[in-house]
With several copies, the nearest count.
Chain A
Amino acid sequence: MGNYRMGTPKKTASKKTTEKKAVSAKPGKSEKIHLLTQMIRIRQMEEKTYEMYTKEKIRGFLHLYDGEEAVAVGIIENLDKEDGIVSTYREHGHALIAGMSMNSIMAELYGKAEGCSGGRGGSMHLYDKKTNFFGGSAIVANGLPMAVGLAMAYKMQNRNSISCCFFGDGAVDEGEFHESMNLASLWNLPVLFVCENNFYSMGMPFELAQAETDLVKKANAYKIEGAAVDGMDVMAVYDASVKAINYIREQKKPWFLECQTYRFRAHSMFDPERYREKDEVKEWKKRDPITTFTSRLQEEGLLDEDELNEIKKRVAEEVEESVEFSEKGTDEPIENLTRFVYSDEPKTLNKSK
């Protein structure tokens, strides 16, 4: 796992990040620190959303990403700004790394007019047109066909963009996974299928849900190539996604990437977690993508304590600001309840070319 031939993705600049930090295929110190920073941003944001949920500032379902940060960061950092991203209800991390501001995410979680969807979507439905973030869907597996369609559009328009679709291990069981994989392969579409295998779909252990647990084999049964990678190791994911993205752009074919990871928290805020042992969680926490990568950078002499503290401080400020922003946010006027059921745009009959 994680031992890939390095390649150079078509565009190495991480246009997806808010900070537009350049990251090369062989990342150096600053790129690596950037990756770490991105993971810390997710973690701290999630911790804050947890806190705000307990304070009832955030309601509904809240699915946190703690433990899985290396996946979003390792992959999205290698995507181009024009690439489309399709995600699930566990998408705060993806959204943030795709380049959405923490303010607009947090405000959406608060249900404020200043949120990305004006409070209509909430935690499970973050969207951002600017960064080609095509939303979190809360129907398991139903983003996959959309990702296939986006790739069709890119191909038809002769763009070199790809669509990148995140989904859980549970999504693999659904029929829509099957249909989407076949279509993408059959039509040679530029889709990066990223299975975030955290070994549970809610309380269902992966091995009780899948007759065949080698997911790459499953992908192969659609003639899609792929790989499994240690999803707790951001560099492994990063390298795997460089390889994947190069393959997709060059071969004009889909790729399947299984990232083996773990969620440290409950499935959602309602989950009594009867289905797993505390010890199991403890074991996995030893592989925390942030602490392990931090140690690695420190061992490699790329990061000292001051730098780390500085990063954490900056991120903490960003998080605090997003909370302040959301606290000050306004309510979407009730008169707007029915707005966006249909487009405001009038019938365009006379605009026909």
Chain B
Amino acid sequence: MKELKQQKMTYRQAVREAMREAMIKDDRVFLMGEDVGLYGGCFNVSEGMLEEFGSERVIDTPLSESGFTGAGIGAAMGGMRPIVEIMTVNFSLLASDQIINTAAIQLYMSGGQFNVPLVIRMATGGGKQLAAQHSRSLEGWYAHIPGLKVLTPATVEDARGMLWPALEDPDPVLIFENTTLYNYEGYMPDNGSIVDISTAKVRRNGADVSIITYGIGLHKSLEAAGILAEEGIEAEVVDLRVLRPLDNETIFKSVSKTHRAVIVDEGWRSGGISAELSSRITEKLFYELDCPVERVCGAEVPAPYARHLEQASLPQPEKIAETIKQMGGLHG
């Protein structure tokens, strides 16, 4: 058997490698966004890419989120495969007209004539003391919009592996990269892996409770599962990977087994994706649930700057573990 060579790299490198690989494989692919070139990417993700691919394929844009996102739509419709980078999801509000009023609905309005094979990458999430205008988690909010696909890679493997299928997807795909994960390190097969962009993955097996989560929440949930394991509670951790369309099957299968579910989402609770997950699970498995589905979410505040306040506003492993321990009928 051929030895499976593993390579250690950061999430940041994984995104970069994914982009490089795509640009090498397919000359329709190009990267466009603010400071992706000369600066090397505001989170240093595209460092070196300008030098490697030149300014015609790594395009620094002026500060015009609506303009260049819309230009990405047009370029995609004109036969290219653009990767548009919006620095953070907070600034994507300036482009939401293009994302929602254009990208998401061209196919439908044109009766199937014009698809928009566009990938938009954005950083998301809090925890870096960047305050209210730089720390939102709006991926679940975008997942409300029909016509969009929403990916949330949480591992190095997914960060690398999801981009290519996203580019191959005929429809607009949003990829949310949690800023806190950029420095996170992991291993992956030498050439990256083939991953799909349609299924959730069980990242830890357990019989007692299902933690349904994604993105940064995965790592916090795995930590929580570790805490719980010490007390004899075995949590299964489901990484959604894709927020639209949700992979009901994997979710339901897990909860059918554990009869208990907790949703962990750094986004705000009210009207967040956590509510959708809770509702779906309850609608489907009401009579199998041992107790109501719980949600551990970000506090409903604009992100505060001060560290102690911000940390208090985010779901923490201890809080997740605590919530689970309080659930009805759990041994441990």
Report yes or no: B97 in contact with A139, Cβ–Cβ below 8 A: yes
Report yes or no: B44 in contact with A175, Cβ–Cβ below 8 A: no
- Is A61 in the interface zone, CB < 8 Å from B? yes
Report yes or no: A146 in contact with B102, Cβ–Cβ below 8 A: yes
Most buried by A among B71, B91, B98, B113: B71
- Chain B interface SS verdict (over half): loop
- Is A9 in the interface zone, CB < 8 Å from B? no
Interchain nearest-CB distance for A28 vs B (Å): 35
- Across the interface, name the chain B residue whose C-beta is closest to A59: B129
A-binding segment of B2-10, B204-212, B295-303 = B295-303
Interchain nearest-CB distance for B150 vs A (Å): 12
Known: A84-B78, A142-B70, A340-B111. A347 touches B302 (CB 8 A): no
List of A residues within 8 angstroms of B309 by Cβ: 111, 119-120, 332, 334, 337
Q: How far is the CA of A171 from the CA of B134 in the complex (A)?
A: 17
Report yes or no: B115 in contact with A117, Cβ–Cβ below 8 A: no
Complex interface residues of chain B between 42 and 92 (CB less than 8 A to chain A): 42, 44, 56, 60-80, 82, 90-91
Known: A59-B307, A341-B302. A149 touches B71 (CB 8 A): yes
Which residue from B40, B91, B149, B170 sits with its C-beta under 8 Å from A139? B91
- Is A1 in the interface zone, CB < 8 Å from B? no
Could you give, for residues 86-110 of chain B, a 1 whenever the CB lies within 8 Å of some chain A CB and a 0 otherwise?
0000110010011001100011111
Complex interface residues of chain B between 93 and 151 (CB less than 8 A to chain A): 94, 97-98, 101-102, 106-115, 128-134, 146-147, 149
Report yes or no: A144 in contact with B107, Cβ–Cβ below 8 A: no
Interchain nearest-CB distance for A116 vs B (Å): 7
Report yes or no: B97 in contact with A183, Cβ–Cβ below 8 A: no
Report yes or no: A209 in contact with B39, Cβ–Cβ below 8 A: no
- Is B26 in the interface zone, CB < 8 Å from A? yes
Report yes or no: A179 in contact with B66, Cβ–Cβ below 8 A: yes
List of B residues within 8 angstroms of A61 by Cβ: 130, 134
B-binding segment of A12-20, A125-133, A239-247, A295-303 = A125-133
Interchain nearest-CB distance for A131 vs B (Å): 11
Report yes or no: B64 in contact with A149, Cβ–Cβ below 8 A: no
Interchain nearest-CB distance for B296 vs A (Å): 16
Q: How far is the CA of A128 from the CA of B38 in the complex (A)?
A: 36
- Across the interface, name the chain A residue whose C-beta is closest to B195: A349
List of A residues within 8 angstroms of B113 by Cβ: 116-117, 127-129
- Is A52 in the interface zone, CB < 8 Å from B? no
Which residue from A60, A127, A174 sits with its C-beta under 8 Å from B305? A60
Report yes or no: A117 in contact with B308, Cβ–Cβ below 8 A: no
Q: How far is the CA of A120 from the CA of B114 in the complex (A)?
A: 13
- Across the interface, name the chain B residue whose C-beta is closest to A336: B309
List of A residues within 8 angstroms of B234 by Cβ: none
Which residue from B60, B64, B165 sits with its C-beta under 8 Å from A349? B165
- Is B291 in the interface zone, CB < 8 Å from A? no
Which residue from A150, A171, A347 sits with its C-beta under 8 Å from B77? A150
Interchain nearest-CB distance for B58 vs A (Å): 13
Report yes or no: B129 in contact with A122, Cβ–Cβ below 8 A: yes
- Across the interface, name the chain A residue whose C-beta is closest to B61: A183
Report yes or no: B62 in contact with A120, Cβ–Cβ below 8 A: no
Size class of A's contact patch? Answer: 35 or more
- Is B330 in the interface zone, CB < 8 Å from A? no
Report yes or no: A337 in contact with B313, Cβ–Cβ below 8 A: yes
Report yes or no: B71 in contact with A334, Cβ–Cβ below 8 A: no
List of B residues within 8 angstroms of A122 by Cβ: 129, 131, 305-306
Could you give, for residues 168-210 of chain A, a 1 whenever the CB lies within 8 Å of some chain B CB and a 0 otherwise?
0011011110011011001000000000000001111100111
- Is B11 in the interface zone, CB < 8 Å from A? no
Q: How far is the CA of A119 from the CA of B82 in the complex (A)?
A: 30
Report yes or no: B62 in contact with A210, Cβ–Cβ below 8 A: yes
List of A residues within 8 angstroms of B308 by Cβ: 111, 331-332, 334
- Is A141 in the interface zone, CB < 8 Å from B? yes
Most buried by B among A150, A275, A341: A341
Known: A60-B131, A174-B94, A183-B61. A116 touches B74 (CB 8 A): no
List of A residues within 8 angstroms of B278 by Cβ: none
Report yes or no: B302 in contact with A332, Cβ–Cβ below 8 A: no
Report yes or no: A153 in contact with B80, Cβ–Cβ below 8 A: yes
Q: How far is the CA of A148 from the CA of B147 in the complex (A)?
A: 22
Q: How far is the CA of A186 from the CA of B149 in the complex (A)?
A: 31
Interchain nearest-CB distance for B51 vs A (Å): 10
- Is A348 in the interface zone, CB < 8 Å from B? yes
List of A residues within 8 angstroms of B112 by Cβ: 118, 339-340, 343-344
Most buried by A among B61, B73, B164, B306: B306
Report yes or no: A337 in contact with B67, Cβ–Cβ below 8 A: no
- Is A157 in the interface zone, CB < 8 Å from B? yes
- Nearest first, the 4 A-B pairs at minimum CB distance are A149-B74, A145-B70, A153-B78, A203-B39
Residues of B within 8 A of A (CB): 25-26, 30, 34-35, 37-40, 42, 44, 56, 60-80, 82, 90-91, 94, 97-98, 101-102, 106-115, 128-134, 146-147, 149, 164-165, 168-171, 194, 196-198, 299-302, 304-309, 312-313
Can you list 12 A-B pairs, Cβ within 8 angstroms, ordered by A?
A117-B111, A122-B129, A125-B133, A127-B110, A153-B79, A201-B34, A272-B44, A332-B309, A340-B111, A347-B196, A351-B168, A352-B25
Q: 13 other contacts beyond A145-B67, A180-B70, with CB at 8 A cut-off?
A: A121-B131, A139-B133, A148-B74, A152-B74, A157-B78, A179-B66, A182-B62, A209-B62, A341-B146, A341-B300, A347-B197, A348-B165, A348-B169
Residues of A within 8 A of B (CB): 59-61, 84, 86, 111-112, 115-125, 127-129, 134-135, 137-142, 144-154, 156-157, 163, 170-171, 173-176, 179-180, 182-183, 186, 201-205, 208-210, 271-272, 274-275, 331-332, 334, 337-345, 347-349, 351-353
